[in-house]
Chain A
Amino acid sequence: MADTLPLIKGTLDTLVLRALSWSPMHGFEITTWLETQSHGSLGVEDSALYQALYRLEKRGYVGAEWGVTTNNRRARYYRVTPAGRAHLRVETARWIEYSKAVTGVLTKPAHS
């Protein structure tokens, strides 16, 4: 997968929260969701995703519970907590501002 973009540090947490804001999912579901949504252009290392999930759980942004998949397999399901939702809103706004600023700088014609 040489053609995927490396993820900027810190954005993975926001993306995971975004994924979970739809519905509770287990780890692999989140991976596939991210791949689908970005049409495979975002390179998320599998173990990094779990590290992000555990980190978010520790901070209280997601909660986890054991459940079973439709195929009757035991899986750990994650859901966003209210604190997680608030965090997602803040981070999203920040990201948009940041990317606008960066885009602005980069696309401004040099010495016009």
Chain B
Amino acid sequence: MIRPGIERLFRLALRRLHPARAEVDDEVALHLELRAEQFVRQGWDPGAARAEARRRFGGRSSEQFLHRVAQERERRMRVAELAEGIGQDIRIALRGLRREPRLTGFIVGTMALGIGANAAMFGVADRLLLRGPEHVRDSKQVVHFYYSAVRKQAGEQVWGIVPYAAYDNLRTAAQRFEGVAVYSMSSALVGVGATTVPAPTAFVSGEFFPLLGVQPALGRFFTAAESEINTPQHVAILGHGYWRRAYGGDRGVLGNTLVIGQEQYVIIGVAPRGFSGPRLESVDLWLPLNIRGAQMYSTKTVHWTRRWNTSWLGVVGRLKPGVSLAEAGADATRVHSQLYDGTDDYMRTARMLVRPFPYESSGKETPEVSILRWLVGVSLAVLLIACSNVGNLLLARTVRRRGEIAVRLALGAGRARLTRLLMTEGVVLALAGGIAGLVVAYAAGTLVRGLVAPNVEWTESPLGATVLIASLAIALITGVLVGLIPAARAGRSDLTEALKSSAREGMGHRSRARGLLTVAQAALSVVLLVGAGLFVRSLLRVEALDLGFEADRVLSISVRWSRYPGNATAADSAERRRRLEYYRQALDAIKALPGVAHASRMEGPPPLEGAVSVNLKVPGLDSMPSSGGGGPFVAAVSGDYFAAVGTRLLRGRLFSPEDGAGTAPVTIVSKSMAERLWPGKSPLGECLMIGDGDSRPCSTVVGVSADVRRFGVTDPPSMSYYVPVGQEVGFGGSGIVVRPSGETAPLIASIKTLLHRLDPTVVYVDAGLLQDQLDPQIRPWKLGATMFVLCGVLALLVAAIGLYSVISYLVAQRTHELGVRIALGARSGDIVGLVVRDGMTMAAAGAALGIGLALLGGKWLQPLLFETSAKDPLVLGGVGAGLLAVAFVASVLPALRAKRVSPMAALRSE
């Protein structure tokens, strides 16, 4: 019996020469040969022996069977081998990475930041930018209507809050829309007695839900009868979040009643989770629009649906298929021009526009959304920096491993195999980074959600499926990317050269790739830091802005009753008088409270809470000049008002307690109003004719006050004037402003108690700092500043470490050369200079490139800044200098090490 010492042959190599078919043929051939030899030994003729062997083996079909089985086997082996190979690569990668735990930790950390930040940002952007409003069917076809008109001196004005009549016209005559619906955002008082709370409420027309294609989570939406204009039905739909909070998600809630504004409503449905209609705010209650219209806007003369002087609605429509925004706008404009039946020339000539659904009522994207777009870019930049830094470190590692790689190549590992190994390393690192990045993603997601859209009802957790998938995808892509950088380099490396010179490299031999990556990192960091600088400067400017009053020191107080008295009946008039009297008493009582420095009654809203204007005529002027800030706006105040809100009196006198109903009409005008109406003259003693009709009396100007920004920080100061309480004509809206002398929170509580005690029919007291109105306005800059600074500093840190590692690496590489230089008498200063110069060259190139990029990108960032140029030299210069300073430190540290190179040791290490 043949007992061969089985010699293993190199399976891999042989199998390439003999694929499955050939192997089978070889095996069969050997069998036939041996069988024939057997017959020959038994005395057969060789030819006959071969024929007999063939016959005994059977027909060709048996070989075909063997071929098929063998090929199948080979396929299975290939897959198994690939899996085994990859498993081996992963083991090699893990072993290598464990050997250098500090490097690995740094790389994983960097990747975690980059991947986590991007996954989080993707989660937020996906919801706010990409996916469109939740639950809205085919949201690309849904649009919001706006008016646009050009006002002299103020330029084009766009607004999206319109009267019911505008909607009524569109509904009856517009042809390019499948439907039109309206909504009005408001706040309704829910509950009875002391438990009454305001709840964000949307009043909507009957077509609203069907038009958007929303399905209720429970129950139903409004029927046609419930939405009928003249038959208001008290039915309510709960927002999903409110249903969960107030009713614990009880499915038996349908048919229950709810007290809203002291009236009973029947709950008929629950809106789906996360649905907030056209705005990024949560909505607790959805009520029929007709209730609000009848309550608020009924008058004796004109039915509320045909009034043009009350704008309170947003209009949305669904485009017919194939209709462009321009065509739809032209259609709406045509309807408006044909059917407008009001008296205002400005309105008559206004155009109508339609814009995509999620835009704000001003027709512009909210700054938060614009900033979100930037944040997506910023997080991508951070990821790029992280990638290039990791690529850089891996590259350095590859160079350190030149010996190992050369050996692997020499032993026959293919280039492809080597590339696969390096890519596996990259992917392993990136996946580890991706997993660690989930922590970052959760934190960043929570932060960004809170900052960008605090009122959005999020249906997915910050680590939801979207974010998880995004993390995985980003990790895989970055893994392959960072793996490719050293792989490209290793693929080029010259075998013999590498084997020979693993210890020392020639002096001019520096890695251009590493230099470029470092420059790119520095440039991106500069871009981010410039963004940070610009936002911080904007924020400082905003916060330092003189609004003309001290928003953080003024409490605005108003009282809500259950019903708005109309002006139809005698009882209504009596109720109005009673309420005015209530405010008079309330002011006296508040003034008597401890902790109150100043307090004043007001008719008309305080700054930031709105503005009213009435007809006004100035003797000697044909028309009212206008200013960019709008106006003139009027408010009726008592003498203590200016001290209470902190608006300075520039000339003349304040109102005295005697000024009021029945005394000589007087007025105080703001500085810019005085300058426009009576340029170059003293306004004191001039005359304003306030209200309608020619018989209106002359209000004498007795004082000039500082200018005030009525609406917000980005508006220029508006023209304003004040009259004493009691002399107001044709406007109202009572309130009280209070300046606390100490803590505000306890004062708010005692004021609320007091106002409820004075009149038990009071349903709710609104009391808060004017600053509360301001904070949402400042939020975009705060958001931009926070995020850019955070990302910028991170980027700078990562780039600095990158630079440090590159310089250290260069120093290590040039030890021999430096040793020779020192031996030849170079002073330590020369050596340090030599090394630092390398670092500074890269940093300077990065700074220049970064500043160039920042200048290019500036024109897109400009609209988000406040009184700051995107080319602000201070910011650009400061960031450039800052980068150079950091780069100096990062390169001086390794340079000092270079200085200590001992020439003997360096030469011996040869």
Contact = CB atoms under 8 A, between A and B. Distances in A.
B4 A66 contact: no
Contacts of A58: 69, 72-73
A57 B73 contact: yes
B23 interface: yes
Given A28-B35, A47-B57, A66-B11, 14 more contacts: A28-B34, A46-B35, A46-B56, A46-B57, A47-B66, A50-B66, A51-B66, A54-B69, A54-B70, A55-B69, A66-B9, A67-B8, A67-B9, A77-B6
Contacts of B30: 26-28, 73-75
Contacts of B70: 54
Interface string B5-43: 011110100100000000100111011011100100000
Interface string A70-94: 1001111100000000000000000
B868 to A, nearest CB: 73
A96 to B, nearest CB: 27
B58 A46 contact: yes
Contacts of B56: 45-46
A70 B33 CA distance: 15
B279 to A, nearest CB: 65
Contact of A76 (B7, B27, B59, B72): B27
Contact of A68 (B7, B11, B26, B69): B7
Contacts of A46: 31, 35, 56-58
B2 A45 contact: no
B65 to A, nearest CB: 6
By CB atoms of chain A within 10 A, which of B2, B23, B26, B63 has the most? B2
Interface of A: 23-24, 26-29, 31-33, 45-48, 50-51, 54-55, 57-58, 65-70, 73-77
B6 A65 contact: yes
Contacts of B33: 73
Nearest to B65: A51
By CB atoms of chain B within 10 A, which of A24, A47, A76 has the most? A47
Interface in B119-167: none
Contact of B8 (A27, A31, A55, A65): A65
Contacts of A68: 4, 6-7, 9
A57 B62 CA distance: 17
Question: Interface size class for chain B?
Answer: 20 to 34
B1 interface: yes
A74 B4 contact: no
29 contacts: A23-B3, A26-B30, A27-B27, A27-B31, A28-B31, A28-B34, A28-B35, A31-B35, A32-B38, A33-B1, A45-B58, A47-B57, A47-B65, A48-B62, A50-B31, A54-B66, A54-B70, A57-B73, A65-B6, A66-B9, A68-B4, A68-B6, A69-B4, A70-B3, A70-B4, A74-B26, A74-B30, A76-B23, A76-B26
A75 B69 CA distance: 18
Contacts of B9: 66-68
A70 B14 CA distance: 20
Interface of B: 1-4, 6-9, 11, 14, 23, 26-28, 30-31, 33-35, 38, 56-59, 62-63, 65-66, 69-70, 72-73
Nearest to B56: A46
Nearest to B1: A29
Main secondary structure of the interface of B (DSSP, over half): helix
Contacts of B23: 66, 76
Contacts, number: 83
A67 B6 contact: yes
B810 to A, nearest CB: 51
Given A28-B35, A73-B30, A74-B30, A47 B58 contact: yes
Contact of A69 (B2, B11, B26, B69): B2
By CB atoms of chain A within 10 A, which of B34, B59, B66 has the most? B34
A32 B7 CA distance: 22
Contacts of A70: 2-4
A76 B34 CA distance: 13
Contacts of B8: 65, 67
A51 B8 CA distance: 24
A2 B35 CA distance: 19
B62 to A, nearest CB: 3
Contacts of B7: 67-68
B365 to A, nearest CB: 64
B677 to A, nearest CB: 100
Contacts of B3: 23, 70
Contacts of B1: 29, 33
A63 B28 CA distance: 18
Nearest to A55: B69
Contacts of A26: 27, 30
Contacts of B11: 65-66
B881 to A, nearest CB: 70
Nearest to A29: B2
A23 B6 CA distance: 11
A2 B123 CA distance: 80
Query: A-B pairs with the 9 shortest C-beta distances?
Result: A47-B62, A47-B58, A67-B6, A54-B69, A28-B34, A46-B57, A76-B27, A28-B31, A70-B4
Contacts of A28: 30-31, 34-35
Contacts of B6: 24, 65, 67-68, 77
A50 B28 contact: yes
Contacts of A47: 57-59, 62-63, 65-66
A23 B1 CA distance: 11
Contacts of A77: 4, 6
A31 B65 CA distance: 19
Contacts of A29: 1-2
Contacts of B69: 51, 54-55, 58
A22 B65 CA distance: 28
Given A65-B6, A70-B2, A75 B65 contact: no
A12 to B, nearest CB: 14
Nearest to B72: A58
A53 B723 CA distance: 108
Nearest to B58: A47
A32 B57 CA distance: 14
A28 B39 CA distance: 13
Contacts of B72: 58
